[in-house]
A and B are shown apart, each in its own frame.
Chain A
Amino acid sequence: MTPTVSASGLSLRYGGTRALDDVSLRLTPGVTGLLGPNGAGKTTLLRVLATALPADRGAFTVLGHDPGTARGRQEVRRRLGYLPQTPGFHPDFTAFEFVDYVAILKEMTDRGVRHREVRRVLDEVGLADVRGKRIRKLSGGMRQRVALGAALVGEPGFLVLDEPTVGLDPEQRMRFRELIAGAGEGRTVLLSTHQTEDVAMLCHRVIVMAAGRVRFEGTPAELTARAAGRVWSSTERDPGAKAGWRTGTGTFRNVGAPPPGAELLEPTLEDGYLLTLDDAGAEVAA
């Protein structure tokens, strides 16, 4: 499949920190998950791809446009929806007013067209009934949906979501996953998250970052397969394991290099993610 977003050799230093180190990736329509620990460079990568930050080196294109030029950057922004990690709101605005404000920033100056679009996206995120409510009176989950609605204004071809499910309760998280899955139909979505469940449930591709570098790029099944034969059960915590914890059944689930004869378990995406990070740590240390 032809990539809609393609990046090669993106690097960015910030002070003494190497925030991005030779990052290359290709995104196709559907939801791609971006996993990594805090400080891995996920938010920096999203800001670069969203054209908020210029990279020191490297290049990328979004839907055929090169944001390296002023004109190209504007073309990318016309096709971009961006939900930052901590979306801010003008506290006195209603949900409608806030999305209307973002629609104006997206060059919708015709009042009638703009208001129809605001109503459409608020319907899409399930907030039609509260569109007249002040944002400060909405719950955290509803605010996130307002911000997602704002990102969806103008039917962007590339949607960048930075940890949108953080702080949501399980029911809100499920609701948000439904919305992201819907948003991923026919458009390219890059979803940064700490939740491997988000990736398992939503994503057709996954990228793992650590210390500013891409450590894995593939399907969730391929990431899970990295842990095949490296997860085992024991009655005591195995000191040779990279990670191990007591499960609800009282036995220990261990991840790492199993001892001979160990009772192997079916790996999960999280096991594959942990081992990928562990491998990356070993590589960084070397």
Chain B
Amino acid sequence: MSWHVSEEDLRAYARGELEAPVLWSADAHLTSCARCRGALAEVSDPVVLDAGWDRLDAELDAPRTGLLERLLVRIGVAGHTARLLAATPVLRRSWLGAVVAVLLLSVGAGHAVRGGEFPTLFLALAPLLPLAGVALSYGPALDPTYEMTVVAPMHGFRLLMIRTVAVLGVVLGLNGLATLALPAYGLRGLAWLLPALALTATGLALTPRLGPVLAPSLVGGAWVGLLLTADVLRTGADVPLAPFTVAGQGVAAVVAALAAGLLFLLRDRFDLFQGRAV
């Protein structure tokens, strides 16, 4: 090997002041030249050099982030928050695929069955998706690291809210896209939004008392029961189901606000284990 990095360049390299393209040449050369690495060690402050190797090692060890994490970081989410979200089970492709399939089905039904002024099947299913998504994002039965998570210093409610906001953002976004695919219904196609918020907030607010599986199951069941009852009580096929009327939307908004308030009052209960004690 006839060419070696000059002492002046090595000193600049050690100080982190060597600039490209000489820096690139020095990088490439140092990986294959023991003599220059020795010379670099002689001209460098050993503490700074060790710190540099440590930094390099740490970078090489650092996990290669997945698609979701990279996307979150790119839109401004802090790296550590993105890692927490990457561990959220429902933000994985399989679950999101199921959500998209349900939405495609209900949107397809909205196009095929124009029996009224509302896309009833879509409006009935869309609120259940965020409820299910949030319910599946934590709890001893669904989060494999739940037991370690609950005794960590990070408050359980904070982690729950981080995951809830992320899941709601994704699922409500998909619901919104599905609504755009039903332009003939106009704003009536958005009548799922307030019930979705009401169901999700109620499911969470009941979780400390009923548990993370029973609470959302009961809320989802109650929603289905409400729709079936409203269907029986309505006076004609063209009349919207009660939850999708103006009055129904108002009730949904009130329920969402009350449930959110209750959830906030019960926030410390999410900091303790919710499962069988024995």
Contacts and interface: CB of A to CB of B under 8 A. Distances in A.
Interface stretch (B14-22, B111-119, B151-159): B151-159
Name, among A43, A52, A114, the residue most crowded by chain B CB atoms within 10 Å (CB to CB). Answer: A52
A94 B272 CA distance: 27
B46 interface: no
A89 B145 contact: yes
Interface in A77-105: 77-78, 80, 82, 84, 87-94, 96-97, 100-102, 104-105
B154 A105 contact: yes
Contacts of B277: 12, 14, 19, 44, 47, 53
B143 interface: yes
Contacts, number: 113
B83 A104 contact: yes
Interface in A1-56: 12, 14, 17, 19, 39, 41, 43-44, 47, 50-54
A106 B145 contact: no
Interface string B155-185: 1000100000000000000000000000000
Contact of A102 (B62, B148, B159, B268): B148
A53 B154 contact: no
**Which bucket holds chain A's interface residue count?**
35 or more
A106 B146 CA distance: 14
A19 B144 CA distance: 24
B84 interface: yes
Interface in A98-143: 100-102, 104-109, 111-112, 114-116, 118-119, 131-132
Interface string A51-87: 1111000000000000000100110011010101001
A102 B152 contact: yes
B54 interface: yes
Contact of B147 (A73, A84, A112): A84
B151 A19 contact: no
Contacts of A280: none
A19 B278 CA distance: 7
A110 to B, nearest CB: 9
Interface residues of B, number: 35
Contacts of A39: 278
Given A115-B58, A115-B61, A44 B278 contact: yes
Interface string B45-86: 000000000110110011100100000000000111001100
Given A74-B153, A77-B152, A52 B273 contact: yes
Contacts of B151: 50-52, 77, 80, 82
A96 B148 contact: no
Nearest to B277: A14
A88 B144 contact: yes
B80 A119 contact: no
Nearest to B92: A92
Interface in A202-221: none
B87 interface: yes
A150 interface: yes
B207 interface: no
B83 A100 contact: yes
B61 A101 contact: no
Nearest to B55: A112
Contacts of A96: 61-63
B278 A97 contact: no
A216 to B, nearest CB: 21
B146 to A, nearest CB: 7
B61 A132 contact: yes
B150 interface: yes
Contacts of A41: 278
Nearest to A54: B272
Contacts of B154: 104-107
Contacts of A94: 63
A51 B153 CA distance: 10
Nearest to B81: A104
Given A89-B145, A115-B58, 18 more contacts: A43-B278, A44-B277, A82-B151, A84-B148, A87-B147, A92-B66, A100-B63, A101-B145, A102-B148, A102-B152, A104-B83, A105-B148, A107-B153, A107-B154, A108-B80, A111-B62, A114-B80, A150-B148
Give me the 8 closest cross-chain CB pairs, A-B, nearest first. Answer: A88-B144, A105-B152, A52-B273, A14-B277, A84-B147, A97-B63, A77-B153, A104-B80
25 contacts: A14-B277, A19-B277, A19-B278, A39-B278, A52-B150, A70-B268, A74-B155, A77-B151, A80-B151, A82-B148, A88-B143, A89-B144, A104-B154, A105-B148, A105-B149, A107-B154, A109-B80, A111-B79, A115-B58, A116-B54, A116-B58, A118-B61, A119-B57, A147-B148, A151-B148
Interface of B: 54-55, 57-58, 61-63, 66, 78-80, 83-84, 87, 143-155, 159, 268, 271-273, 276-278
Interface of A: 12, 14, 17, 19, 39, 41, 43-44, 47, 50-54, 70, 73-74, 77-78, 80, 82, 84, 87-94, 96-97, 100-102, 104-109, 111-112, 114-116, 118-119, 131-132, 147, 150-151
